[in-house]
Amino acid sequence: MSTSDEDTAIRPELSELRERLAATSDEGRPAAVEKRRQRGQQTARENIRALVDEGSFVEYGALALAAQRLRHSIEELAKRSPADAIVCGLASVNGELFSPDRARTMVLVYDFTVMAGTQGHIGHLKLDRMLEIARERRVPIVFFAEGGGGRPNDTDTQTVAALDTPSFHAYAALSGLVPRVGIVSGRCFAGNAALLGCSDVIISTEDSNVGMGGPAMVAGGGLGKFEPEDIGPIDVQCKSGVADIRVENEIEAVAVAKKYLSYFQGAVTTWESPDQSVLRDALPDNRRRAYKIRPIIETIADTGSVLELRRDFGRSIVTALARLEGEPVGILSNDTYYLGGAVDSDAADKAARFIQLCDAFALPIVSLMDTPGFMVGPKAEATGLVRHVSRMFVAAASVTVPIFTVVLRKGYGLGAQAMSGGHFRAPVFTIAWPTGEFGAMNLEGAVRLAMKKEIEAVEDPAAQDQMVQAMVQIAQERGKAINTASLFELDAVIDPVETRGWIVRGLRSMPKPDRERKIRTVDTW
């Protein structure tokens, strides 16, 4: 005959355990919770509950305490340092969409209410344990990185600088092996920022500040006194390319993290398709006029499936994750509203890293091209353009995932080749809309270069311009999509309405990329 807990006296050992665990909960720490409320933030455990499937979180190291027993009693440490400022565990995320093996996720959350989320000796042991599990079991990671960096006042150790701490190496070693989502809200400095920066994607809230050194470190280096809010605010993070996705608060950050993670968890069976007929009128009649590329991307992709990365950095290229008939893909596209779609150093870095990300996790790449080529000129070269743009060629040359190229309008020079994975025959197919136009370089520049002597032989400047324009028109006619396809430099010219169908059929015609064939790292930049 069994009896319930209510009918049985609680043994003192169990009572002690319950009391200790209760002290780590939000209910047991009302003052800490109130501080988070005053800052407009959630607690570590609230963020976990919002992220994971209900009841799925299994916590590791909940009873860990800071290595400060020479300074404080166990009772005091239980109040001061629950979980030693990092809450860790395994859980299911997006379990309503994916099987248990695909939904399993590692969750790591630095708790700012505990010693400002600093990294302590015991906390590092916990982190190292979790990263080893992630490596062995190939488990994706969602990492809330808010915190002040290394903790200098743990007393229960015999160390000088603790530079043999393996956590940073262990987290970095997971690059290309498992997807790693970094989330930052509030202040994130030093060691916490170093871990965040190793992540595949960084989701930052409006109130976030990220820096390799916080105010104390900056002041200690004789670099001046600054408030935490002065170091790495959200505008700086986004424009410099540190933050991949900008969100309002932690609630939105969690929702975006779940969406981002889903692309790496697999295909979904339920999807909707936008009206494709709008693509026929998506481009302006004037071939030199800019247009909005994002509505085109959103039309080609499944409804509501597009998630853009690094929007405010490298703006002449758009990088986004999306789905087509439920299948996850990476989309690379030129944005004619910035530099006319020309590829500069920042855009090339952004594109090259995105190609690496897609290849590492077996996401096919769709390239929507409209570029006059690489950006040129003394100012552009001063940015190290030659090295930066070449990253696109190197990154694409080793991919194992299929690339599908659709030329919307301009496809000129080396920039067009880079947007297509190296050359027009590198993709599974290279097709164009009827508005496509092609050339080895800018047409006017090509005419002036090729016909330099003939043009200079005409003395009247007005007549020279007329001559150039006439030759440019001939070059345009020769380089239009239909004529280019007649020489089989394109695989097809299609009705824009057929774009989505072409890509979907291409996806279905390719074997699923084998992730085990090649594990590669993803540049942090």
Whole-angstrom distance, CA of residue 269 vs CA of residue 258: 17
What is the pLDDT, as a whole number, of residue 514? 66
503, 365 contact by CB (below 8 A):
no
368, 416 contact by CB (below 8 A):
no
Greatest CA separation for the chain: 111
196, 158 contact by CB (below 8 A):
no
> Helical H runs in 420-517?
443-450, 452-456, 461-479, 481-486, 499-509
Which residues are paired to 88 by β-bridges? 60, 108
Whole-angstrom distance, CA of residue 337 vs CA of residue 315: 9
Residue type, 36: R
The tokens for 229 are 């809010």
5 by Cβ neighbours in 10 Å (0-12 / 13-18 / 19+) ranks as exposed
Whole-angstrom distance, CA of residue 372 vs CA of residue 405: 16
3-state secondary structure 214-244: CHHHHHHCCCCCCCHHHCCEHHHHHHHCCCC
187, 41 contact by CB (below 8 A):
no
Per-residue pLDDT tens digits of the chain, which is 525 residues long: 455 555 568 899 999 999 989 888 989 899 999 999 999 999 999 999 999 999 999 999 999 999 898 899 998 999 999 999 999 999 999 999 999 999 999 999 999 999 999 999 999 999 999 999 999 999 999 999 999 988 888 888 877 777 888 999 999 999 999 999 999 999 999 999 999 999 999 999 999 999 999 888 888 888 888 988 899 999 999 999 999 999 999 999 999 999 999 999 999 999 999 999 999 999 999 988 999 999 999 999 999 999 999 999 999 999 999 999 999 999 999 999 999 999 999 999 999 999 999 999 999 999 999 999 999 899 999 999 999 999 999 999 999 999 999 999 999 999 999 999 999 999 999 999 999 999 877 777 666 666 777 777 777 788 777 777 777 777 777 889 999 999 999 999 999 999 999 999 999 998 876 665 556 789 998
Q: What share of the chain is helix, strand, coil (3-state, %, to 5)?
A: 40, 20, 40
Whole-angstrom distance, CA of residue 104 vs CA of residue 73: 37
- 3-state class of 247 per DSSP? strand
> How far, in whole angstroms, is CA 177 from its chain's centroid?
15
* Superfamily per CATH, domain 276-436+480-517: 2-enoyl-CoA Hydratase; Chain A, domain 1 (3.90.226.10)
- 3-state class of 169 per DSSP? helix
Whole-angstrom distance, CA of residue 327 vs CA of residue 325: 6
What's the pTM?
0.93
Length of the chain: 525
What is the pLDDT, as a whole number, of residue 450? 66
77, 68 contact by CB (below 8 A):
yes
CATH architecture of the domain with residue range 20-263: Alpha-Beta Complex (3.90)
Whole-angstrom distance, CA of residue 80 vs CA of residue 24: 10
The tokens for 270 are 């339920």
Whole-angstrom distance, CA of residue 9 vs CA of residue 18: 14
| Residue in 319, 405, 329 with CA at minimum distance from that of residue 368 | 405
127, 84 contact by CB (below 8 A):
no
Whole-angstrom distance, CA of residue 141 vs CA of residue 130: 10
> Which stretch of DSSP H or E encloses residue 331?
strand 327-334
For 502, list phi and psi in degrees, rounded to 5.
-60, -45
What is the pLDDT, as a whole number, of residue 1? 44
